[in-house]
Structure 1
């Protein structure tokens, strides 16, 4: 049944993604926030379809911590699921990502129309300047900034290295950080075709102020909050295995 349900989910992905790519290109003349609100319908549809076909839903704890913004989000990254769900949980946003993602057929092309901050990880100095310049621009346009501080998807129960780039950006922009923990990888594993039934837990923390802090101190505070929450919500899904 898991295979059949997952096939039904992916059928809709294949059908509507090219359509939304075309829509995203056609609405390029609109302001970024307006484009974001229209394109997010792709995520709304797919998350509802995911619930119907695969029995996978989610709950958000701490939504009252989300201020008017725009601010920066630092989120645990276990799955592709959160790239959709964050669009429903938070106001219009852009992601800091590796430039290669924009080359993906249809999905990457549509992603390029959302004004992401796509960086070349091989050019660290240039990437930091780009983060600063484009970060200021996106905030000024009313868009939140999403960063996955571990830089890649991490298996449930494991912890990646929290990088200071996002903390330096928050300090440069003088913008608070909203930390987010979630256990999505226990239901939608990394690079997995299969999606498993259950309920993903998303926890949103109170904004972390940046004033008077160093980048290392700031990222350690973010890491401490996220990983502290992960110890409480890890182990609830069918795909969790105890790390060796």
Structure 2
């Protein structure tokens, strides 16, 4: 990474962290007086748009999105590939209102966690998987009925570029029980905003929105089949955009132009 890119990355982190601190403080005092949708736009959507804009403007991380014609009319369950932090910002800005599955511990962080708690996240205890699945099913159904998108990263954690993790069935089960489709999303954000380290690399992230997929039937078997279909689409699309090892995406650190 060039010296100039290092300086740009440092500036990016300074602007991102300072804006986060100020915005969280403001949100804690303003958001409680806003209805939920306006609260989401004020607290999350606007700041996440700022984060995506800073990434583009300061460190040169742009994006190209395909598949907009696949967006359903009603909010549903989003099953997205997880490689970096960028897609969390992007998806939170693009879909609104959006309820995200997060670690419960995040809500305890001063100001940041307090602001997040007002946005109806599904805060799970990862040390208790069975209870977490029940909570996702119950609260996720409530969020969908309230007109919110539910974002699930079915791999459970960020997976390095060139790899794909096993999909948990929680998101697919939620969709089946709620009578909603899943919306698969693939991307290669980790090539420019890697999972590990602080480095950021200029380039264009490819975001692909897949077709809304409905379960064929009810129950656990239908959820498993739906989950397998979503996984197969994401895996195939990751290959198509050149982001699985067999297609040459072997590195998290592309050469800087």
| TM-score normalized by the length of structure 2 | 0.87
Residue 140 of structure 1 and its aligned partner are, at CA, apart by: 2.3
Matched, 1:34 2:38: yes
Counterpart in the other structure of 2:238: 230
Matched, 1:145 2:158: no
How many residues were matched structurally? Answer: 241
**Partner deviation per Cα, 1:103-139 (whole Å, 9 max, x = no partner):** 3454333322221001112223322222222112212
Residue 238 of structure 1 and its aligned partner are, at CA, apart by: 7.1
Moved beyond 4 Å, runs of 4+: 235-238
**Partner deviation per Cα, 1:23-61 (whole Å, 9 max, x = no partner):** 322212422222111121111112112111111110111
1:91-240 equivalences under 5 Å are 91-212=96-217, 214-233=222-241, 234=243, 239=252
Distance 1:117 1:188, change over 3 A: same
Range with bigger deviation, 192-201 or 119-128:
119-128
Range with bigger deviation, 132-141 or 62-71:
132-141
Counterpart in the other structure of 2:23: 20
Matched, 1:2 2:5: yes
Distance 1:183 1:37, change over 3 A: same
User: Quick check: 1:24–1:113 contact (8 Å CA) kept in 2?
Assistant: no
Q: Which runs of 5+ in 1 are unaligned?
A: none
User: Quick check: 1:92–1:144 contact (8 Å CA) kept in 2?
Assistant: yes
**Partner deviation per Cα, 1:153-204 (whole Å, 9 max, x = no partner):** 0001111111112111111111100000010000000132111100000000
Cα separation, 1, equivalents of 2:169 and 2:237: 20
User: Quick check: 1:33–1:142 contact (8 Å CA) kept in 2?
Assistant: no
Cα separation, 1, equivalents of 2:136 and 2:161: 29
Q: Indicate the SS of the match to 1:171.
A: helix
Q: Indicate the SS of the match to 1:95.
A: strand
User: Quick check: 1:120–1:127 contact (8 Å CA) kept in 2?
Assistant: yes
Range with bigger deviation, 34-43 or 126-135:
126-135
